A = this chain, B = another copy of it.
Amino acid sequence: MQNTITVGLLGLGTVGSGVIEILRDHQEQIQHKTGCAVTIKSALVSDLSKPRELSGSTTTLTERYEDITRDPDIDVIVEVMGGIDHTLTILLEAIEHGKHVVTANKDLIAEHGAELFEACQKHQCDLYYEASVAGGIPIIRSIMDGLASDRITKMMGIVNGTTNYIMTKMAQDGVDFDSVLKEAQELGFAESDPTADVDGLDAARKMTILSILGFSMPFELKDVEVKGIRNISLDDIRYAEELGYRIKLIGIAENDHAGVSVSVEPSLLPVSHPLSSVNDEFNAVYVYGDAVGETMFYGPGAGKLPTATAVVSDLIAVLKNIRLGTTGTAYVQPQFPHQLKAKSEKLTKKYMRMQVLDEPGVLNEITHAFAEYGVSFDQVIQRSTDDENTRELMLMTHLVSEDDFEKAKHDLEQLAPVKHIHSIFRVEGGQ
């Protein structure tokens, strides 16, 4: 049996140096668990001249990825450099050279996972990606192994730390979106270009990965309906609170007889729901199984060491497979064909806040527009505004199909007394 496993590292940023740190600090423990030692032979960096802290390390740095992908000594590639197309090329070349791959790259797995798995199957290589979803939370493993015997029907996740941090601060401190975003950027919790986070793309990628795994079905990023958090106002947060709800950016994936629907959108959750208490930059994934009922997995969704923990735990799995001669056996083709749910089959409750003229009969006109499509209301709040000619109206519907809701909304927009629809969010749980 092989007693030393040699690793090539692609990327030496935050997570990369976390991987080096954990391999160094937990060396004995890893050797005890796997029966073999791990050496990082070389690391790909974009700029060799940049000063780095690698004291006592024997790792060679290179700017040429071929030095790693073609090095016959290297058994496993750990990819923590990010990026999509160029990174795909590198990894496919590495797999062709028989390297196993551990990656933290959600963008890559969400968009090219199938291609990578195919290559791995062909070359009997392992591909592990626990760190790509919810950082330090072992959610991929829990779905694949821990709940392997169950049929998963629903997953709900707070899978983006930046937006959860922003939503938490808005709710707790009463500060508006723009100010919190600015503060988060200064603190390093949000990128200087926050688009992928605040517009929901990052969360959508993670929900794509979870959906493929959890529902054993091929699934693409474009299948996810995505809405971001830019238009959530403090008014919405206050209305939600008043009704016993909190607003979170939630990824929801559902699978029933009518097919799968996956969305990422700001949603109202009852305060008693476990996901409502997930605050700051923490992540959590709620999983409903036919047999197990509800389970939740909570932890840090990002950060140097949490993410590196997931990467090194994957590396340990690969080490064990190498020692046992079972690499390339973990992947299972999706069992079911791709089937998206039609809009007419997607039933949700909606929260809606709008500005209407203060005239007799307005509420009746509005509820009539909804009643045409069979939409009825769970809660209604009407308030005065600074403008004495208008009123603010908050409506929460009972279950309604996406189809019917869109038609009702379209008719509503034609009504003269409806001045402006401020916001529409999904409502999850509750009565």
User: Could you list which residues of chain A lie within 8 angstroms of chain B, going by C-beta atoms?
Assistant: 18, 22, 25-26, 28-30, 32-33, 130, 136-138, 141-142, 145-151, 216, 274, 277, 289-300, 303, 305-306, 308-313, 315-317, 320, 324, 326, 329, 332, 335
Q: Is the Cβ of A147 less than 8 Å from the Cβ of B151?
A: no
- Which residue among A142, A151, A326 has the maximum number of chain B CB atoms within 10 Å of its CB? A142
Q: Is the Cβ of A22 less than 8 Å from the Cβ of B291?
A: yes
Rounded to whole angstroms, the CA-CA distance of A313 and B145 in the bound complex is: 7
Closest Cβ of chain B to A249, distance in Å, is 19
Q: Is the Cβ of A293 less than 8 Å from the Cβ of B277?
A: no
Rounded to whole angstroms, the CA-CA distance of A238 and B147 in the bound complex is: 39
Closest Cβ of chain B to A255, distance in Å, is 13
Closest Cβ of chain B to A381, distance in Å, is 27
26 A-B pairs whose Cβ atoms sit less than 8 Å apart in the complex? A22-B149, A22-B150, A29-B216, A30-B148, A33-B148, A130-B146, A136-B291, A141-B145, A145-B316, A147-B309, A148-B313, A289-B309, A292-B300, A292-B305, A292-B306, A292-B309, A295-B297, A295-B298, A295-B299, A296-B296, A296-B298, A296-B299, A297-B297, A297-B298, A324-B324, A324-B329
Contacts of A22 in B (CB 8 A): 149-150, 291
Q: Is the Cβ of B136 less than 8 Å from the Cβ of A315?
A: no
Rounded to whole angstroms, the CA-CA distance of A305 and B332 in the bound complex is: 25
Contacts of A335 in B (CB 8 A): 28-29, 32-33
Instruction: Count this chain's copies in the assembly.
Output: 2
Contacts of A332 in B (CB 8 A): 32-33
Residue of B nearest to A311 (CB): B149
Residue from B32, B297, B305 within 8 A of A293 (CB atoms): B305
Contacts of A148 in B (CB 8 A): 30, 33, 312-313, 316-317
Rounded to whole angstroms, the CA-CA distance of A292 and B291 in the bound complex is: 30
Q: Is the Cβ of B298 less than 8 Å from the Cβ of A274?
A: yes
Q: Is the Cβ of A29 less than 8 Å from the Cβ of B151?
A: yes
Closest Cβ of chain B to A216, distance in Å, is 7
Rounded to whole angstroms, the CA-CA distance of A392 and B317 in the bound complex is: 57
Q: In the A-B complex, list the 5 residue pairs whose CB atoms are closest, starting with the nearest.
A: A138-B146, A149-B312, A295-B299, A136-B292, A291-B305
Closest Cβ of chain B to A43, distance in Å, is 18
Q: Is the Cβ of A26 less than 8 Å from the Cβ of B149?
A: yes
Contact (A138, B149) CB under 8 Å given A306-B291, A309-B292: no
Rounded to whole angstroms, the CA-CA distance of A294 and B26 in the bound complex is: 18
Residue from B151, B293, B297, B324 within 8 A of A306 (CB atoms): B293
Residue of B nearest to A295 (CB): B299
Contact (A299, B309) CB under 8 Å given A141-B146, A145-B317, A335-B32: no
Residue of B nearest to A297 (CB): B297
Contacts of A299 in B (CB 8 A): 292-296
Q: Is the Cβ of A295 less than 8 Å from the Cβ of B137?
A: yes
Q: Is the Cβ of B147 less than 8 Å from the Cβ of A313?
A: yes
Contacts of A293 in B (CB 8 A): 136, 299-300, 303, 305-306
Residue from B29, B294, B311 within 8 A of A300 (CB atoms): B294
Closest Cβ of chain B to A375, distance in Å, is 33
Contact (A26, B295) CB under 8 Å given A142-B138, A332-B32, A332-B33: no
Closest Cβ of chain B to A180, distance in Å, is 20
Q: Is the Cβ of A216 less than 8 Å from the Cβ of B297?
A: no
Q: Is the Cβ of B291 less than 8 Å from the Cβ of A308?
A: yes
Closest Cβ of chain B to A185, distance in Å, is 23
Closest Cβ of chain B to A225, distance in Å, is 27
Closest Cβ of chain B to A7, distance in Å, is 13
Rounded to whole angstroms, the CA-CA distance of A311 and B297 in the bound complex is: 20
